[in-house]
Amino acid sequence: MLKPADPGPPPPERPIGELVSELIDEGKAYARAEIDLAKAIATAKARALALPAALFGLAFILALAAVTALAVGVVIALQTFIGPLAAGFVGMLVFAGLAGGIGWWGYQRLRQEL
């Protein structure tokens, strides 16, 4: 039968102050590593989302131009019937009403979710 190897004398006990100091140093190193990991993850996500965010911004600008063109078209079409000033006012009321309604709908959905 095999006999366990003689471990030798037990290691000398280290003072509590030294152990606490080592524990604090290891805790600081662990915290720094966690922060570096979180920074790396955030940087990777930001880089991955940069192009989609730019594309959504461009799409928003183009949609704004399309709505502006539609508003101008509505005003031009109405001016033959009710005059340019009244057509501008009616066009403004129509699109302001649409914007207000959509904004209110979004506000209500936000209140539901929160």
Neighbouring CB atoms inside 10 A of 75's CB total 19
Distance of alpha carbon 32 from the chain centroid: 24
- Residue whose token pair is 């930001």: 46
Amino acid at 27: G
Tell which residue, 102, 97, 104, 77, has the closest CA to residue 88.
77
* Token couple for 55: 């594309």
Q: What per-residue confidence (pLDDT) applies to 15?
A: 85
Rounded distance between C-alpha atoms, residue 55 and residue 51, angstroms = 6
Q: What per-residue confidence (pLDDT) applies to 21?
A: 92
- Least confident among 7-16, 33-42, 100-109: 7-16
Q: Does the pLDDT value for residue 11 go beyond 80?
A: no
Kindly indicate the confidence band of residue 1, based on its pLDDT and cuts at 50, 70 and 90.
low
Give per-residue pLDDT as tens, 59-107: 999 999 998 999 899 899 989 889 888 888 888 898 889 888 888 988 8
